[in-house]
Amino acid sequence: MKSVGVAILGFGVVGSGTYKILRDHREFYRRTQNIDVTVESVLEINRQKALDLGVEESRISDNIAEVISNPNVDIVVEVIGGVEPARSFVLAALHSGKTVVTSNKELFCKHWHELEAAARRTNAGLYFEASCVGGVPIIRTLIDGLQANVVTSLTGIINGTTNYILTRMTREGSDYRSVLKDAQALGYAEANPAADVEGYDAAYKLSILASLAFHTKVPLETVYREGITEVSGQDIAYGDELGYVMKLLAIGKNDGGKSIEVRVHPAFVRKDHPLAAVSDSFNAVYLQGDSVGDVMLYGRGAGALPTGSAIVSDVIYAATHSDVKYATFKNEEKAESGVKFVTNFRSRYYIRFTAKDRAGVLAKVAGIFAKYNISIAELIQKGEDAENLPIILITHETNEFSVRSAVEKIGALENVVSVDSVIRVEG
């Protein structure tokens, strides 16, 4: 039976969850995987945190050099988060020939090329299943499950915090700020929630997933990003009436590897779409392959045990596979020169504006849309007795830049009080 020694860098929520899984399932892995996995070292400044979970004091360290030099450590698990000191620690482990497993999407998204170059030099393993979508095995599916396919698109709900907030706003008619406070109290959102609610977390993950799915480097700066901070309960309610649910979507589309579209933003999806039913803190990724057709993976996108499950999956995979795999594309800091990233993407649009109850307003709006070759699929006028009327339009599929130009012109019309919302409609 093969013995495998693991070091865990960081003993927070995910690190402690990983330790519990490895400790509690040790005999199970011995029986089913023919490996004996032990935690040989834990890097943690708060020693008591590790002691409380039963880690032997002799195996607790606050010195990365001591951890890396331990001959009993074969695999280093990094769950510190952020870029530094995680980057330096992971590079030290790779330079010493240790296999690394990480859950750190920001680090991996921004420095994947650098980490892989270090891993290649020492033929070390580099695994990152837990970096995207928590316990959902999306990385392994893309690498080892869909190789037969050209993946043409992926659409995902890949941030649990924003999905929880939007679900609550939809069910209860609550406003964004009150639900955010609840999410923070429950531990779903950080005290500074910007990474989640502004879409950065989803953008990190989409950069990684799109690179794998489309076999070409998709740098973070190519991902269009909008968060949910401006989403209103009023629009969610209007969308519900029209048969839509609001989600923060991560969308990637591939036109043969030469044209890539990657964007993160709030969007309406039809209630009969599989992603519409993904609620609370759950995540899902909806994939389309040219041979397999539609595939959807669903599960918990965060948490100690779901994320720990993905980490331990990588540990077991690394321990039971002698061949090391790296990226299937030229993995450098920037994208390859021949790849075009689409910015003027196509979508349908929900547009809400407020206008004075005057004759000819809608005719002028329709004229502006016609100028930009935008056709209207639905038009609803609310509050017939009011001086200022909310008007909602849903367009047929059109170009992003055309909508931006048209909205700017509409906002300048004499009897238009305000353009209140522009939300893309997908699926």
Each residue of 220-248: pLDDT tens digit?
Answer: 999 999 999 999 999 999 999 999 999 99
The pLDDT of residue 191 is above 80: yes
Last residue of a domain, one of 326, 341, 356: 341
116 Cβ contact list (under 8 Å, min separation 6): 126, 326, 327, 331
Q: Which helix (H) or strand (E) holds 309?
A: helix 304-320
CATH label of the domain that carries residue 122: 3.40.50.720
Same domain flag for 37 and 173: no
Catalytic residues, by residue number, are 205
Same domain flag for 76 and 142: no
- The model's confidence at residue 385, banded by pLDDT at 50, 70 and 90, is low
Last residue of a domain, one of 104, 127, 150: 127
Domain-located, residue 403: yes
Q: How far is CA 172 from CA 163, 210, 236, 237, 403, in A?
A: 14, 34, 11, 10, 31
Same domain flag for 354 and 216: no
Query: Looking at residue 319, what is its pLDDT?
Result: 97
Q: Is the overall model pTM greater than 0.85, yes or no?
A: yes
> 71: domain range?
2-127
Q: What is the mean pLDDT of the chain?
A: 95
The pLDDT of residue 386 is above 80: no
Nearest to 62 by CA among 4, 10, 5: 10
Q: How far is CA 367 from CA 126, 331, 372, 374, 395, in A?
A: 56, 48, 9, 10, 14
Last residue of a domain, one of 127, 148, 165: 127
Same domain flag for 14 and 162: no
DSSP secondary structure letter of residue 54: T
Domain-located, residue 316: no
Same domain flag for 106 and 169: no
CATH label of the domain that carries residue 420: 3.30.70.260
Question: What's the number of domains the chain is made of?
Answer: 3
The pLDDT of residue 256 is above 90: no
Instruction: Sheet containing 2-9: give its strands across.
Output: 60-61, 35-43, 2-9, 75-78, 99-102, 126-127
Query: Looking at residue 109, what is its pLDDT?
Result: 98
Each residue of 336-346: pLDDT tens digit?
Answer: 998 999 999 99
Same domain flag for 181 and 208: yes
The pLDDT of residue 214 is above 70: yes
Relative to beta strand 388-395, strand 346-356 is antiparallel
Same domain flag for 150 and 291: yes
Each residue of 11-47: pLDDT tens digit?
Answer: 999 999 999 999 999 999 999 999 999 999 999 999 9
